[in-house]
Amino acid sequence: MKITVDMDKCQHYGQCTFEAPTVFALNDDGKLEYQGEVDDSLADQVEAAADVCPMQAIEIAP
């Protein structure tokens, strides 16, 4: 599955890091880093991360 984050919308709250810590992380500067492509086995975590994003900045594609 492919993941994109609209970095213009993202405010780096980090809520996604709690739902999918193997996919999303905040770097030392507090900025979001993420894997752009992950295995489908992480779908539930990634979907949960997208749902909790207060800015709705995460998009998922198969």
pLDDT at 43: 97
End-to-end C-alpha distance for the chain, whole angstroms: 4
The pTM assigned to this predicted structure is: 0.94
Within a 13 Å sphere around the CA of 55, how many CA atoms are in the beta-carbon half?
Answer: 14
CATH number for 39: 3.30.70.20
Confirm if 57 and 5 have CB atoms less than 8 A apart: yes
Structural domain for 39, as ranges: 2-61
Strands (DSSP E) contained in 1-62 are 2-5, 24-26, 32-34, 58-61
Q: pLDDT (tens digit, 9 = 90+) per residue, 17-41?
A: 999 999 999 999 999 999 999 999 9
> 14 pLDDT band (50/70/90 cuts)?
very high
**Number of domains, the chain:** 1
> 6 pLDDT band (50/70/90 cuts)?
very high
pLDDT at 21: 98
